[in-house]
């Protein structure tokens, strides 16, 4: 019998702790598939952030390290600089990367740090229970913006991919969405390309993945994906934002 579908070697068989309808499981799998297909598992070091991915070491089947909140790009920098032949990636959420970790991500990008960042943007703090994030859309109600996000109070949502694309050091910046099968395929292509950019030592690579958080959005899983398409993907357009050729 021919095996047509199996768990990637870069994922363990540990069941995910994620909520129903959460996109993390899909994105984990895509990262693992890309690493497998590029034959990088035994040469890769994963850096997972604080937040919903805090148990990342249970799922990623490779050497990995848990970073402090927002500091994954700095930790990844330390690893990559000491051991430039390793493939190093960070896996971060939007609260982690775009709020507390904004300095670290901007400077990793500006330095052209040869790492790959998988940035899962669901527009909310998940693990802490649904607080406003820098990426939360205007009008959205969260536990710490109970009257809806107002530009006059919390300012505007940050477009991370566009922001980082300005840096010379950024070699590949893309935004994708996992709201549909086509989006999942696009996301996988982008993540793979990001790892290839790292392999070619072209500089900093980041894929911003628009993702759903049904639990904290207060929307059922299918409804959440529809809302993502109709709202998040409008404010955060998908596509390749920067592609630096060798």
Partner 1 sequence: MKGNEALAEGAIRAGCRGFFGYPITPSSEIAEYMARELPKVGGVFLQGESEVASINMVYGAAATGKRVMTASSSPGISLKQEGLSYIAKAELPCLIVNISRGGPGLGAIQAGQSDYFQATKGGGHGDYHLIVLAPSSVQEMMDFTMESFELAEKYRIPVMVMADGTMGQMMEPIIMRETVEEIPVKPWALTGCKGREKNVIDTFHSSGEELEKYDQILARKHQVISDSEKRGEAYQTEDAEIVVVAFGLMARIVKKSVDLARKQGIKAGMFRPITLWPFPYEMLDEASHAAQQILSVELNQGQMVEDVKLAVNGRVPVSFYGRISVLPSPEEILQQIVAFVRKEKGSYANGI
**String of contacts with partner 1 for each residue 71-90, x by CB under 8 A:** x--xxxxxxxxxx--x----
Tell me the closest approach of the beta carbon of residue 108 to partner 1, in angstroms: 9
| CA–CA separation, 206 and 191 (whole Å) | 8
CA angle 215, 228, 22 (to 5 degrees): 35
**Stretch binding partner 1 (CB under 8 A), from 21-29, 65-73, 187-195, 234-242:** 65-73
Answer yes or no whether residue 107 interacts with partner 1 by CB under 8 A.
yes
With CB under 8 A as the contact rule, the residue among 22, 67, 98, 164 that binds partner 1 is 67
- What DSSP state is assigned to residue 237? -
**Stretch binding partner 1 (CB under 8 A), from 26-34, 64-72, 125-133, 166-174:** 64-72
Tell me the closest approach of the beta carbon of residue 53 to partner 1, in angstroms: 11
- What DSSP state is assigned to residue 61? -
Nearest to partner 1 of 103, 222 (CB atom): 103
Q: Are 84 and 198 in contact (CB under 8 A)?
A: no
Tell me the closest approach of the beta carbon of residue 67 to partner 1, in angstroms: 7
Answer yes or no whether residue 198 interacts with partner 1 by CB under 8 A.
no
DSSP 73-131: HHHHHHHHHH-TTSEEEEEEEHHIIIIITHHHHHHHHHTT-S-EEEEEE-SSBTTTTSB
CA angle 140, 142, 146 (to 5 degrees): 90
Q: How many helices (H) and strands (E) does the chain have?
A: 11, 7
Nearest to partner 1 of 78, 237 (CB atom): 78
Q: Are 89 and 49 in contact (CB under 8 A)?
A: no
**Stretch binding partner 1 (CB under 8 A), from 66-74, 148-156, 217-225, 231-239:** 66-74
Answer yes or no whether residue 112 interacts with partner 1 by CB under 8 A.
no
With CB under 8 A as the contact rule, the residue among 19, 38, 54, 243 that binds partner 1 is 54
User: Which residue in this structure is represented by tokens 């019998």?
Assistant: 1
Answer yes or no whether residue 168 interacts with partner 1 by CB under 8 A.
no
Answer yes or no whether residue 63 interacts with partner 1 by CB under 8 A.
yes
- What DSSP state is assigned to residue 41? G
Applying CB under 8 A, the residues found at the interface with partner 1 are 41-45, 47, 54-55, 57, 61-68, 71, 74-83, 86, 103-104, 106-107
């Amino acid at each position: 019998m021919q095996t047509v579908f199996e768990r990637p070697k870069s994922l363990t068989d540990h069941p995910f702790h994620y909520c129903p309808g959460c996109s993390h499981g899909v994105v984990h799998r895509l990262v693992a598939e890309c690493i497998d297909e590029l034959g990088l598992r035994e040469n890769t070091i994963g850096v997972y952030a604080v937040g919903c991915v805090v148990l990342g070491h249970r799922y990623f089947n490779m050497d990995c390290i848990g970073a402090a909140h927002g500091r994954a790009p700095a930790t990844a920098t330390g690893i990559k600089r000491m051991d430039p032949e390793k493939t190093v990636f960070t896996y971060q959420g939007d609260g982690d990367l775009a709020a507390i970790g904004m300095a670290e991500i901007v400077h990793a990008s500006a330095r052209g740090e040869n790492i790959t960042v998988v940035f899962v943007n669901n527009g909310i703090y998940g693990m802490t229970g649904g607080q406003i994030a820098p990426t939360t859309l205007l009008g959205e109600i969260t536990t710490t913006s109970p009257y809806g996000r107002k530009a006059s109070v919390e300012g505007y949502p940050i477009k991370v991919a566009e922001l980082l694309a300005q840096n010379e050091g950024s070699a590949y910046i893309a935004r994708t969405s996992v709201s549909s099968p086509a989006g999942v395929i696009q996301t996988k292509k982008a993540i793979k390309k990001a790892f290839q950019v790292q392999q070619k030592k072209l500089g900093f690579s980041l894929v911003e993945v628009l993702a759903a958080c049904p639990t904290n959005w207060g929307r059922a899983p299918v409804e959440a994906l529809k809302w993502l398409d109709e709202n998040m993907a409008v404010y955060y357009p998908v596509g390749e934002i920067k592609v630096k050729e060798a």
